[in-house]
């Protein structure tokens, strides 16, 4: 079964765009995605933050299968500042 990465990236984008405005001011939101691809993690969050100056990145962490002995994934903790 082939995975359509563009479709998945678009879905991630849509979810962030749709639900981030629902977060109350000074609220925090975790973005987590099971992928080792920067385009689905760090790069995705950086693009979001450039478009939405009312959000800031509190902390992010990347997990790797070879060093962390778990599935690879990315977590970002974001805060709505105003």
**DSSP track, 9-61:** HHHHHHHHHHHGGGSPTT-EEEEEE--S-GGGTHHHHHHHHHH-TTEEEEEEE
pLDDT, one tens digit per residue, over 17-73 is 999 999 999 999 999 989 898 888 999 999 999 999 999 999 999 999 999 999 999
| pTM score | 0.83
How crowded is residue 1: how many other Cβ atoms within 10 Å of its Cβ?
2
Q: How far apart are CA 8 and CA 4, in angstroms?
A: 6
Average pLDDT over residues 3-27: 90
pLDDT of residue 62: 96
Phi, psi at 73, each rounded to 5°: -160, 175
**In the structure, what pLDDT confidence band is assigned to residue 3 with cuts at 50, 70 and 90?**
confident
């Amino acid at each position: 079964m082939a995975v359509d990465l563009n479709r998945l990236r678009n879905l991630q984008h849509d979810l962030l765009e749709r639900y981030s405005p629902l977060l109350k001011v000074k609220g925090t939101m975790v973005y987590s995605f099971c992928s080792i691809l920067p385009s689905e993690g760090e790069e995705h969050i950086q693009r979001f933050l450039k478009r939405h100056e009312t959000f800031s990145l509190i902390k992010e962490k990347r997990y790797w299968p070879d060093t962390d002995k778990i599935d690879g994934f990315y977590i970002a903790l974001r805060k709505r500042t105003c």
